[in-house]
Amino acid sequence: MENLEYLKSLLDIHPELQYEIIEQYWTTDFLRFYHSQTNYNISKETTTLSATIYKGKKSFNFMLDNATSEKLDNAVHNALAIIDKLPEDPYFVDLENDKTLAKPREVKNNIEAIPLKLKTEILSRIAQAVAPHNFDIFGSFVCNYQKYRLINSNGLDKTSENSPYYLEVKAVHNKSQVTVIEAFGGEDFQYFREQNFIEHLLQKIGYCFNDIVDIEPGTYDVILAPRCLGEFAQYLTYGMHARSLDQHSSFFEGKLNQKVFPEWISICDDPDDPEIIHKDYGSNGHIYRYLSLVDNGIFRNFMCDNYYSHKTGLPKNGNTGSCLKIEAGDKTLDEMIGSVKHGLFISSLHYMNFINPKETSITGLTRDGTFLIENGKITKVVNNLRFTEKVARIFEHIQALENRSHPVPFSGNYEIFDIETVKSPHALVRDFNISSSTKTI
């Protein structure tokens, strides 16, 4: 962190400046596998120093990889040369001033705790377990370690580290290509139960030997697996950001403290749940704390950073929706499947995009196991399907939620590869709009 201190010293001699500096170290060990064998192993590491300098309402940002004092001298010189000539942002008021520090916690570096040899051994056992059923495994087994320090001219000085791991296995039948998925992720590898993981995968494989059918477009009662409901919740939160509200693109505009969903729907952002990958700080270093988003169907809070708090007048919280949790309901999964006369079980989603974010209209596809439910039982494999829906309507149409929530890891695959968890139960949704079939598995 010497570079950060050096940069701070360069900026502190200009009392007219405000600044935020972030230094981040990130490293990953990334094993990618296909057809029950290694595709490639990647190890990468980066150290990045980012600074945003403010002079009044004018600002300039620079980022440096592997900064040196010479590079920092140049960067500051260039920033000071231009900043007076830039136009102002009249909505900038002040930098973050929340100095609350996160509770210290012990972070184990999972790159060291789960070495490559152990990963290949685990994968070999999973591959052996599915092989008798003529399935191969595809996927990735990732460990990250990252730490960062953020300081600003308002006196914030915060450090944080985490080390998530993520195992995603898709089992693919070598002939039919029918696919099922099992994933596990978190921070403490002790929670990973290899035998449970394999049993869940084998249970899903058991559904794959039924006939493969197509279905007609129309509305269906569907059971959404936790990763599907979790992903829909991630899209729903687009409109829960103050930024979306400011940009006139929020479904929740004018709906604060109003009933938006059935009373059995509660969604929160909860970094303290032990099964969710923890986050110490949110936007601009604000402490990351529990935030109720939807409470018994009532929309409670926008997620709001320092800038948009000043601009919109909403209270700031620094939450970013990185620790989403959908509260469990009161039904078992078997009860929920048993209540469906003619419907679908959807395991995973693919390639979703908003059509109109304000209306939450969206299109996307199913993948990794779509099954027909007839008279309360999973009976057939269904080709992957396209849905065109409104995310808000999906939540409005939730009829029942499973009595337990499952942590589902998601990878953020752009910029730095990040891993987050969403905790979600299975959900029974009525009248889910299937708009076409892909006619393929």
Partner 1 sequence: MEQIIKQTIQKLSLPEITFADVRITRTDNEGIFFQNGFLRGYSTNLDSIALGIRVLINGCWGFAGTRDLSNASIDKAIHTAISNAHFGSLFQKTKVEFPPLSPVQAEYEHHPEQDPFKMAKEEKIDYLQRLAEAIKPQEKIVHSIIYAAFMRQEKYYANSEGTYAHYTFYNTLPMMSVLASDGAQVQSRTWPGHMGAGRAGFEIFHKHKFEENTERIIKEATDLLSAPTIEEDKADIIIGSGHLALQLHESVGHATEADRIFGMEISYAGKTFIKPEMIGSFQYASPVVNIFSDSTDPRGMGYHPVDDEGVPGKKVDIIKNGILVNQQTSRQIAPLLGLEPSSNMRASYGDDFPLVRMTNFCLAPGKGTLDELIQDTEHGYLLDFTKTWSIDDNRNNFQFTTEIGYKIENGKIVGIVKEPTYFGITKEFWNSCDRVCGPEEWDYQSTFNCGKGEPGQSMQLSHGVAPARFRNINVRVKI
DSSP 85: T
Q: How far is CA 233 from the centre of its chain?
A: 10
Q: Is 41 in the site for partner 1 (CB under 8 A)?
A: yes
Q: Which stretch binds partner 1 (CB under 8 A): 15-23, 35-43, 284-292, 321-329?
A: 35-43
Q: Does 93 bind partner 1 (CB under 8 A)?
A: no
CB of 242 to partner 1, least distance (A): 14
Q: Using an 8 Å Cβ cutoff, are 294 and 260 in contact?
A: yes
168 binds partner 1 per the rule CB under 8 A: yes
Give the nearest distance from C-beta 315 to partner 1 in angstroms.
22
Phi then psi dihedrals of residue 385, to 5 deg = -125, 150
In the chain, how many H helices and how many E strands?
A: 10, 21
CA 136 to chain centre: 27
* Least distance between partner 1 and beta carbon 431 (Å): 12
- Residue 69 in contact with partner 1, rule: CB under 8 A: no
In the 8-state DSSP scheme, what is residue 134? Answer: T
Two structure tokens written together for 113? 């705790």
Q: Which is nearer to partner 1, 112 or 330 (CB)?
A: 112
- By beta-carbon proximity to partner 1, the closer residue of 266 and 366 is 366
356 binds partner 1 (CB under 8 A): yes
Site string for partner 1, 173-192 (x = CB under 8 A): ----x-x-------------
Q: Which residue intervals of 324-398 are DSSP H helices?
A: 333-338, 391-396
From residue 165, alpha-carbon distances to 11, 50, 263, 269, 380 in Å are 37, 26, 34, 20, 34
Separation between Cα atoms, residue 407 and residue 275, nearest integer Å: 6
C-alpha 98 chain-centroid distance: 25
One residue of 160, 322, 347, 433 binding partner 1 per CB under 8 A: 433
Q: Find the shortest distance in angstroms from Cβ 137 to partner 1.
A: 10
Q: Structure tokens of 38?
A: 């290694």
Under the binding rule (CB under 8 A), the answer on residue 431 touching partner 1 is: no
Task: Identify the residue among 66, 69, 100, 203 touching partner 1 (CB under 8 A).
Answer: 66
Q: Residue 339 in contact with residue 376, Cβ under 8 Å?
A: yes
* 96: CB partners within 8 A, 6+ apart: 20, 152, 154, 156, 283, 284, 285, 286, 305, 306, 318
Residue 289: CB minimum distance to partner 1, A: 27
**Alpha-carbon Rg for the chain in angstroms:** 24
Residue 417 sits in the site that holds partner 1 (CB under 8 A): yes
Cβ-contact 404, 425 below 8 angstroms? yes
Kindly state the number of chain residues that form the binding site for partner 1, as judged by CB under 8 A: 92
Q: How far apart are CA 165 and CA 114, in angstroms?
A: 9
25 binds partner 1 (CB under 8 A): no
Q: Can you tell me which of 72, 75, 201, 344 binds partner 1, judged by CB under 8 A?
A: 75
CB of 102 to partner 1, least distance (A): 27
Interface stretch with partner 1, choices 36-44, 153-161, 226-234, 272-280 (CB under 8 A): 36-44
Binding mask 206-245 vs partner 1 (x if CB under 8 A, - otherwise)? ----------------------------------------
Chain-centre distance for alpha carbon 399: 25
Among the listed residues 215, 295, 352, 403, the single contact to partner 1 using CB under 8 A: 352
Stretch binding partner 1 (CB under 8 A), from 89-97, 264-272, 285-293, 339-347: 89-97
